A and B are shown apart, each in its own frame.
Chain A
Amino acid sequence: DQQVKQNSPSLSVQEGRISILNCDYTNSMFDYFLWYKKYPAEGPTFLISISSIKDKNEDGRFTVFLNKSAKHLSLHIVPSQPGDSAVYFCAASGVSDDKIIFGKGTRLHILP
């Protein structure tokens, strides 16, 4: 049973527009959420995170929103750039275990 769900395997966005990647989770014990970015033949690299005590965290062009009641988080990238084309993983961890649970990933294509 998937505890972290990314329901869109892929997403195409025009360069300069906003990219919104969505993620849902089922485990209410998760209290820390992360987004990772992955290029081909490399491991995922950390992008941005959010603690459950917050509902928004911003870092440059990247903003993560957390809606705990809906068990939903999203990553906004604005403006989208060609180098943002990659696979994005949503991940979560809980208080009792720092092991991270990953979603299946969303492949983002930034169109020229």
Chain B
Amino acid sequence: NAGVTQTPKFQVLKTGQSMTLQCAQDMNHEYMSWYRQDPGMGLRLIHYSVGAGITDQGEVPNGYNVSRSTTEDFPLRLLSAAPSQTSVYFCASVDKEGYTFGSGTRLTVV
């Protein structure tokens, strides 16, 4: 099925560890983005990309890196995990018909 695939669905990290959240879409969308969802704060934009090789910062980029080497993949890297990064992360890709969200990754940093 066409859509946005996020992996893993759950992850527990220790403070200081690094990891990559994967996001892939097979709809040939140019625009992709990463959000974090925290209680009472809606979805906050971390980074976004308007096409392969192009990325830009959103509202809360600190502590996260992204790259967009292909149209399909938009991984989000946590360089040194902190408890403040405990959250649910959503990846989304966009075309003229709207947004397609992944199923989310629940990350806990202890």
Query: Which residue numbers of A lie inside 8 Å of B, CB to CB?
Result: 1, 6, 9, 36, 41-46, 87, 89, 99-107
Contacts and interface: CB of A to CB of B under 8 A. Distances in A.
A105 B42 contact: no
B43 A104 contact: no
A6 B98 CA distance: 9
A104 B97 contact: yes
SS class, residues of chain B in contact with chain A: strand
A102 B4 CA distance: 12
A103 B59 CA distance: 22
B78 to A, nearest CB: 18
12 contacts: A9-B96, A9-B97, A42-B45, A43-B35, A43-B43, A43-B58, A43-B59, A46-B40, A87-B99, A99-B103, A102-B92, A102-B101
B47 to A, nearest CB: 11
Contacts of B59: 42-43
A43 B44 contact: yes
B1 interface: yes
B104 interface: yes
Interface residues of B, number: 23
Nearest to B96: A9
Contacts of A9: 96-98
B55 interface: no
Contacts of B104: 99-100
Interface in B24-76: 35, 37, 40, 42-45, 48, 58-59
A96 B96 CA distance: 33
B106 A99 contact: yes
Which 6 interchain pairs have the tightest Cβ spacing? A104-B98, A43-B45, A43-B43, A45-B42, A43-B44, A105-B98
